[in-house]
Amino acid sequence: YARVHGEVSREPAVWRCIESVHKECLEEVKYEKSDEGIAKITINRPDKRNAFTPRTVMEMSWCFTDARDDPRVGVIILTGEGPLAFCSGGDQSVRGKGGYVGEDNIPRLNVLDLQMQIRRLPKPVIAMVAGYAVGGGHILHMVCDLTIAADNAVFGQTGPKVGSFDAGYGSTHMARLVGQKKAREMWFLARLYDAQQALDMGLVNKVVPLQQLEQETLVWCREIMRNSPTALRLLKSALNAAEDGQAGIQQLGGDATLLFYMSEEGNEGRTSYLEKRPPDFSKFPRLP
């Protein structure tokens, strides 16, 4: 196997820091890229255990959009600054009556839009979790495609203790991951679970010592980078489609259209229209 595929490098990545995205300065998020096609988005509020404000969520969203649009990027890591937390959910100190309140005084639950963005992003997103992934932070790791956890990681929902809940992916996708009984346990009791328990219940893909967290995550990224981007894209949208109803079919359908646009048969339709002649589809086989 190694002879055919070669060894995967375990070297550290050389990160290039990107200070601003779409002309907006990043204040609560760090954004980095490596020349090997890996992007890393880091929630940068370690004093608050990387709790997110509406601004943090907006900044993450800009970075994810940039990573999606950059054809050199093939895989994205989402993580939190420091060893103590991936993300502790919504910042309770800015929670108002209608959601989380930013500088513009508008209450928002914009993390729900971010969950959708990660889910629909046509490239693999890997959560790299050290420390707490709780509340809305736990949901962010769940909507990522894969999760690599450090052995100090702690997972769980706190909503029923702090007067909130996520009745979207936070509940339904969790039940797909861990089963209905376990999902109800996680939400109804709001207990916290260690990394090994999370691995046992299928919440994470791998647990490694904290010191090896980024190294292991990079190995997974590098293995992914070797594989066909189109195959990965179609697999992600197919796996989503089985759960996401019409929205999932729309994503998978979009991918089918993209492939068709790239084909000679698809181009014949456009070219014939532009050349003001009837299309000639006779040369394309009607395969079984």
Query: What does the binding site for ligand S0N look like in residue numbers (CB under 6 A)?
Result: 48-49, 51, 84, 88-93, 109, 111-112, 132, 134-136, 158-159, 162, 164, 166
| Distance in Å, CB of 68 to ligand S0N, minimum | 22
Give the chain's largest Cα–Cα span: 67
C-beta closer to ligand S0N: residue 51 or 186 = 51
- Determine the Cα–Cα distance for residues 33 and 18; give it in Å rounded to an integer: 8
Give the contacts of 136 (CB within 8 A, at least 6 positions apart): 52, 87, 89, 90, 111, 166, 170
| Distance in Å, CB of 85 to ligand S0N, minimum | 6
- Determine the Cα–Cα distance for residues 192 and 157; give it in Å rounded to an integer: 7
C-beta closer to ligand S0N: residue 74 or 156 = 156
| Distance in Å, CB of 89 to ligand S0N, minimum | 2
Residue 154 in tokens: 């702690």
| Distance in Å, CB of 171 to ligand S0N, minimum | 10
C-beta closer to ligand S0N: residue 107 or 229 = 107
C-beta closer to ligand S0N: residue 92 or 205 = 92
CB closest to ligand S0N, residue no: 89
Q: In what order do the strands lie in the sheet with 206-208?
A: 15-17, 29-34, 38-43, 75-80, 125-129, 146-150, 206-208
- Determine the Cα–Cα distance for residues 178 and 56; give it in Å rounded to an integer: 28
| Distance in Å, CB of 34 to ligand S0N, minimum | 29
| Distance in Å, CB of 184 to ligand S0N, minimum | 17
| Distance in Å, CB of 51 to ligand S0N, minimum | 3
C-beta closer to ligand S0N: residue 73 or 162 = 162
| Distance in Å, CB of 27 to ligand S0N, minimum | 17
